[in-house]
Amino acid sequence: MALASTSQNSTNHNGKALSVLIVSTLAFTVCFMVWMMFGVIGIPIKKALNLNATEFGLLTATPVLTGSLIRVPLGIWTDRFGGRIVMTILMAITVPAIWLMAYATEYWHFLTIGLFVGLAGGSFSVGTPYVARWFPKNRQGFAMGVYGAGNSGAAVNKFVAPALVVGFGWAMVPQVYAAVMLGAVLLFWFFSASDPAHLVPSTVKFSDQLKALKDPAVLKYCQYYSIVFGGYVALSLWMVQYYVGEYGLDIRVAALLAACFSLPGGVLRAIGGWLSDKYGAHSVTWWVMWVSWICLFLLSYPQTDFTITTINGATTFHIGLNVYAFTGLMFILGIAFAFGKASVFKYISDDYPKNIGTISGIVGLAGGLGGFVLPIAFGVLVDLTGIRSSAFMLMYGVVWVSLIWMYFTEVRRTDLLGPHGNAVPARA
């Protein structure tokens, strides 16, 4: 009788865990779609307000700022009060701001309202610990990867928003998104669940949870995430206008090609989680950084014409990526970033199983700040140099930092230690 009761309890728990994972992923997809809204509607707004590249970068990055800064407190509140109530309230309070965006007319209007719309981006640090605690340790990487696949909301935005812009004008986008967000709130509340056993004891102080900021390993994971997530967010916001400016494409075609980066960068995160469970967070992250380094090196090269003098006179050669090669490299980069986003959070679930909410909030904050700073830096570099590919040059340098840091703290340390953590004698 006891065995049957245990089996039934296990079945009920697994059913709730699956339901939580599905509705949380759908909710995060909607939140991310809203968070990336300016990546498309920013283009007609830029034209209407006559913005330069730096102003456009600030416009697209503003929602990312609040969505990043709120991540640490949201992660802590999730540990203390539970993901169901925190996620529901967070999504609900963004609905009025999304709707009001349709009535903005001045640049400062968009920046101010964008700060409130950006709260939707904080949903990541709520859903990650919320979902992870419903699954055993050996499946947490996969579960967090599935939830993180909600990043594909960036690609959904690129499919939906251009059609609305062309058919009805950019103001229709926030109106539709507000209705979608409201529907997501109701769906999440009715199909999610809570478990008091997942909450951090009330005896744990807020200051104790923030002590993780002094942990060097946490700072390292912040660096990794600033490129695999921050870079993903920044490029998702930047790529549509990049295609329009660099290759002269229509906004709908540009958005479709930009989705070749955003879609795998979101959907394949679940596979990255599975690979991290199987091969370890370090191995996956190491290869992610090297693949990203190669792609960004090639993407950094600007369109170039050079002339040499031959025996037959001057001959001019052109070097540069055509739209097909560029899109192919962006597709590979999107896959690498997807795997990297999952592997970084596998580090967290392995190293901080009792403090996932706080640590994921801190690391998520770093990644989000990367997504805020990078678009602005892209715009400044374009205004200063006139070279669009300077955006990839900057990201190439950030990846170098990650590779060097990982080599000295993980790769070299592993080489110097034996299988049981003992020092290996120096080779002659």
For the residues 395-405, what does the mean pLDDT come to?
Answer: 89
The rounded Cα 125 to chain-centroid distance in angstroms is 11
- In this prediction, residue 209 carries a pLDDT of 56
How does pLDDT run across 280-297, given as a tens digit for each residue?
888 898 999 999 999 999
- In this prediction, residue 207 carries a pLDDT of 62
Specify whether the CB–CB gap between 88 and 193 falls below 8 A. no
How does pLDDT run across 5-27, given as a tens digit for each residue?
555 556 666 778 888 889 999 99
- In this prediction, residue 10 carries a pLDDT of 61
Q: What is the dihedral of CA 238, 231, 325, 268, to 10 degrees?
A: -110
Please say if the pLDDT value at position 427 is more than 70: no
Please say if the pLDDT value at position 342 is more than 60: yes
- In this prediction, residue 271 carries a pLDDT of 84
329: confidence class by pLDDT, cuts 50, 70, 90: very high
Rounded Cα distance between 29 and 77, Å, is 21
- In this prediction, residue 219 carries a pLDDT of 82
Residues 6+ apart with CB under 8 A from 320: 301, 302, 303, 304
- In this prediction, residue 177 carries a pLDDT of 95
Long-range contacts of 212-219 (CB under 8 A, 24+ apart): 212/352, 212/355, 212/358, 212/359, 212/362, 213/362, 217/347, 217/351, 218/359, 218/362, 218/363
Rounded Cα distance between 153 and 174, Å, is 15
How does pLDDT run across 33-43, given as a tens digit for each residue?
998 888 888 88
Q: What percent of the chain has pLDDT over 90?
A: 25
Specify whether the CB–CB gap between 70 and 84 falls below 8 A. no
Q: Position 301: which residue type?
A: Y
Angle of helix 323-351 versus helix 356-385 axis, rounded to 10:
150
How does pLDDT run across 69-116, given as a tens digit for each residue?
888 788 778 888 888 899 999 999 999 999 999 999 999 999 999 999
The token pair at 238 is: 């930047």
CATH 3.40.50.300 is held by the domain 12-192+209-416: no
The token pair at 353 is: 């199983």
**For the ranges 114-128, 178-192, 334-348, the one whose mean pLDDT is highest:** 178-192
For the residues 320-341, what does the mean pLDDT come to?
Answer: 91
- In this prediction, residue 99 carries a pLDDT of 95
CA atoms within 13 Å, Cβ hemisphere of 240: 31
202-to-76, 128, 342, 357, 376 alpha-carbon distances in Å: 12, 21, 30, 15, 40
How does pLDDT run across 153-194, given as a tens digit for each residue?
878 888 888 888 888 889 999 999 999 999 999 999 988 887
- In this prediction, residue 8 carries a pLDDT of 57
How does pLDDT run across 223-240, given as a tens digit for each residue?
888 889 889 888 988 888
- In this prediction, residue 362 carries a pLDDT of 80
368 C-beta neighbours (distance < 10 Å), count: 29
419: confidence class by pLDDT, cuts 50, 70, 90: very low
Region for 386 from its dihedrals, namely left if φ exceeds 0, alpha if ψ lies in -120 to 50, beta otherwise: left
424: confidence class by pLDDT, cuts 50, 70, 90: very low
Angle of helix 230-247 versus helix 323-351 axis, rounded to 10:
170
How does pLDDT run across 191-226, given as a tens digit for each residue?
888 777 767 665 555 566 566 667 777 888 888 888
146: confidence class by pLDDT, cuts 50, 70, 90: confident
